[in-house]
């Protein structure tokens, strides 16, 4: 807690226009911090600013400000921006009714947001107090100065700039974005000794400039773990999507020394979803980023290590050990391995798409690009749930959203609830039996040529934004020669290996493979990478948990 001399003059402020919510926040804050801090609450941005100015005149300190995002007249971001001028050292927290990634990114860029919390925050012992404890500790240790943030200087149509922003956002690393065309961006480039020809330039919190950084270097410099702390584990989980995170949570919570290895960012395709509405226990929906963040913190709570930006290139068997090799030549060993590598979106083969990837053509939702789509005509290629969720999210600000679907309708691949929402959205249009024939643009996407599948007729449309969700390709080529896969590359396991009643070739145990076990004993598969899997978040999480149960069975009999 704060020093005794500061106790009477240090404030935690909460701002919410809903009186009931405002009182509830203040009540929970007083219960934990009332003995050491003054809790000040306000029910509008204007009254809160008046209170801050009065506190400033009296010489009081403000440690943390919690502001609701959806307030009338002055929303939370606008209020925090003005509060920054009065108390630049106060830690800033945005309260949101939903996991609003767009609002959070805006707040990070505008007001150096330190954290955002979902309402309701019950129980506060798990969802509110740990966050506030960390922010108060940071406030005290920084002598009341703002925490330095990561800065990214890039160009709107730079593919690598887009990749870096997406990497930081998906890994929950706060950053500020500066265009290389703007004065502050040019100032940062000059300070880094760069002329803007090589972008992006990332300036780390300690002031170190990184020019066109690779993911592993960037991860290490912004505080993400990239190196295992041990050489041998009970369990290595490869892939940080729902299946991998589920396996890490259950493995670590049940006492297994567990390390999860992720090549990019935890969450997988689900982590890029703007809103998942059919996941058990979230009747109002949850964003993929919020679900991922909770799962990641849960795994870490139980002691699982999570390594980011580490690409696995080989799996080897050495007696009872399973060796996982990384792209840099290093390796880690374990008694068992769970393959939860997930899938990636297939690439559009139409001419021009490859050259414009990251410059108007994006694979997945690329939520960091959503603010730039305001008032624009947006095209989405695909007809499954991921495409539908992206359409609903982007339709909030886009002028129009057009879904391009190869099939005759959405009903074959999209959940009924999403189809209903799309039908009720006035600015979403579905064009069935239509594909992208070609993408055009000089440096960035400017036009698309669309083709009607049945008639062959083509049409050219103006377009600056297209998001692609066209099926899934498993990330399993590196397993060639070790783990059996089907003709599409998905991993075979359990009954699929013994369809003819005989164990797979080379199987030396006197039992058949367990349900999720591959042809390599002690190596299991979970989630979308498994042949004939359900391709749903809930089933992936369930398979991750089931795989851990089978790991225990394997270890007991080894």
DSSP string over 180-224: TTSHHHHHHHHHTT--SSS--EEE-TTS-EEES--HHHHHHHTT-
35 lies in the same domain as 124:
yes
Asked, for residue 225, whether it belongs to a domain, the answer is no
123 lies in the same domain as 162:
no
Asked, for residue 545, whether it belongs to a domain, the answer is yes
Asked, for residue 91, whether it belongs to a domain, the answer is yes
Residue among 525, 527, 506 nearest 516 (CA) = 525
404 lies in the same domain as 327:
no
Q: Which residues of the chain have pLDDT under 70?
A: 1-8, 57-59, 98-111, 143-148, 366
Asked, for residue 349, whether it belongs to a domain, the answer is no
Judged by DSSP in three states, 282 sits in coil
Angstrom distance (rounded) from CA 493 to CA 514: 8
Angstrom distance (rounded) from CA 77 to CA 153: 22
Judged by DSSP in three states, 66 sits in strand
CA dist 341 → 265, 293, 475, 489 (Å): 12, 18, 6, 12
CATH code of 186's domain: 3.40.30.10
Tell me, what DSSP letter sits at residue 357? B
209 lies in the same domain as 249:
no
pLDDT of 232 reads: 98
CATH code of 391's domain: 3.50.50.60
Question: In this structure, what token pair is assigned to residue 481?
Answer: 């020669």
Contacts of 456 (CB under 8 A, 6+ apart): none
Cis previous bond, 255, omega within 30: no
297 lies in the same domain as 371:
no
Read off the pLDDT of residues 31-47 as tens digits, 9 standing for 90 and up: 999 999 999 999 999 99
pTM: 0.74
Asked, for residue 325, whether it belongs to a domain, the answer is yes
Question: In this structure, what token pair is assigned to residue 397?
Answer: 């600000």
Angstrom distance (rounded) from CA 145 to CA 87: 9
Residue whose pair of structure tokens reads 């599409």 in the numeric block: 488
pLDDT of 163 reads: 92
pLDDT of 286 reads: 82
134 lies in the same domain as 8:
yes
Q: State CA 387 to chain mean position distance.
A: 17
Angstrom distance (rounded) from CA 387 to CA 188: 37
Angstrom distance (rounded) from CA 186 to CA 164: 19
Judged by DSSP in three states, 539 sits in helix
Total structural domains within the chain: 4
Give ∠ CA 450-451-453 in degrees, rounded to 5: 145
505 lies in the same domain as 522:
yes
Judged by DSSP in three states, 517 sits in strand
Entry field: residues in the chain: 558
Angstrom distance (rounded) from CA 524 to CA 492: 10
Asked, for residue 481, whether it belongs to a domain, the answer is yes
Residue among 212, 177, 173 nearest 192 (CA) = 212
545 lies in the same domain as 478:
yes
pLDDT of 263 reads: 95
Of 100, 115, 141, the one marking the end of a domain is: 141
Radius of gyration of the chain (CA): 25
457 lies in the same domain as 486:
no
Asked, for residue 305, whether it belongs to a domain, the answer is yes
61 lies in the same domain as 126:
yes
| Measured torsion, CA atoms of residues 211, 214, 216, 217, in degrees rounded to the nearest 10 | -20
pLDDT of 274 reads: 77
CATH code of 100's domain: 3.40.50.2300
Angstrom distance (rounded) from CA 67 to CA 63: 13
List the alpha helices (DSSP H) in 357-441.
385-394, 416-423
Residue 215 forms beta bridges with which residues?
Answer: none
The boundaries of the domain holding residue 30 are 4-141
135 lies in the same domain as 12:
yes
Of 167, 195, 218, the one marking the end of a domain is: 218
Of 422, 454, 470, the one marking the end of a domain is: 470
Residue 239 half-sphere exposure toward CB, CA atoms < 13 A: 30
Pairing status of strand 305-308 against strand 312-318:
unpaired
Asked, for residue 353, whether it belongs to a domain, the answer is no
Query: What do you get for the CA distance between the two ends of the chain, in Å?
Result: 50
Residue whose pair of structure tokens reads 């807690």 in the numeric block: 1
Helix (H), strand (E) at residue 405: strand 400-405
173 lies in the same domain as 123:
no
């Amino acid at each position: 807690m704060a020093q005794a001399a500061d106790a009477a003059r240090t404030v935690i402020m909460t701002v919410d226009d809903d009186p009931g919510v405002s009182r509830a926040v203040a009540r929970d804050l007083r219960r934990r911090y009332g003995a050491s801090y003054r809790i000040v609450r306000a029910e509008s941005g204007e009254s809160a600013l008046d209170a801050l100015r009065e506190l400033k005149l009296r010489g009081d300190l403000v440690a943390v400000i919690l502001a609701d995002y959806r307030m009338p007249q002055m929303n939370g971001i606008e209020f925090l921006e003005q509060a920054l001028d009065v108390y630049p050292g106060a830690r800033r927290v945005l309260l949101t009714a939903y996991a609003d990634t767009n609002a959070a990114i805006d707040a990070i860029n505008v007001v150096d947001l330190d954290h955002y919390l979902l309402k309701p925050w019950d129980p506060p012992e798990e969802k509110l107090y740990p966050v506030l404890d960390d922010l108060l500790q940071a406030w005290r240790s920084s002598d009341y100065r703002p925490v330095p943030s990561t800065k990214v200087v890039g160009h709107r149509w730079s593919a690598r700039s887009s990749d870096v922003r997406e990497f930081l956002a998906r890994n929950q690393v706060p950053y500020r974005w500066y265009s290389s065309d703007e004065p502050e961006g040019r100032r940062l480039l000059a300070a880094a000794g760069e002329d803007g020809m090589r972008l992006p330039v990332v300036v780390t919190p300690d002031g170190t400039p990184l020019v066109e950084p690779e993911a592993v270097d960037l991860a290490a410099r912004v505080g993400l773990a990239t190196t295992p702390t041990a050489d041998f584990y009970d369990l290595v989980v490869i892939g940080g999507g729902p299946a991998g995170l589920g396996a890490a949570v259950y493995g670590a919570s049940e006492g297994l020394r567990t390390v999860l290895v992720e090549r990019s960012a935890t969450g997988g395709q689900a982590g890029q979803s703007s809103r998942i509405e059919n996941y058990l226990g979230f009747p109002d929906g949850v964003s993929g980023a919020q679900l991922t963040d909770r799962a990641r913190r849960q795994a870490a709570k139980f002691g699982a290590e999570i390594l980011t930006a580490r690409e696995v290139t080989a799996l080897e068997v050495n007696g009872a050990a399973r060796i996982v090799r990384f792209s840099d030549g290093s390796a880690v060993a374990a008694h068992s391995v769970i393959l939860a590598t997930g899938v990636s979106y297939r690439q559009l083969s139409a001419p021009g798409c490859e050259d414009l990837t990251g410059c108007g053509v994006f694979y997945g939702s690329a939520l960091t690009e959503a603010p730039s789509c305001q008032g624009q005509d947006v095209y989405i290629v695909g007809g499954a749930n991921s495409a539908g969720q992206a359409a609903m999210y982007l339709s909030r600000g886009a002028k129009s959203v057009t879904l391009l679907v190869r099939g005759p309708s959405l009903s074959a691949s999209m959940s009924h609830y999403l189809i209903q929402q799309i039908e009720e959205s006035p600015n979403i249009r579905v064009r069935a039996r239509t594909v992208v024939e070609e993408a055009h643009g000089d440096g960035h996407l400017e036009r698309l040529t669309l083709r009607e599948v049945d008639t062959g007729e083509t049409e050219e449309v103006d377009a600056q934004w297209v998001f692609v969700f066209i099926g899934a390709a498993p990330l399993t080529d590196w397993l060639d020669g070790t783990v059996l896969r089907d003709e599409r590359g998905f991993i075979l396991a359990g009954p699929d290996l013994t369809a003819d009643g005989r164990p797979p070739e080379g199987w030396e145990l006197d039992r058949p493979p367990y349900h999720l076990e591959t042809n390599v004993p002690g190596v299991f598969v979970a989630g979308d990478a498994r042949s004939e899997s359900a391709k749903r978040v809930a089933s992936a999480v369930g398979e991750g948990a089931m795989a851990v149960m089978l790991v225990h069975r394997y270890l007991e009999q080894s």
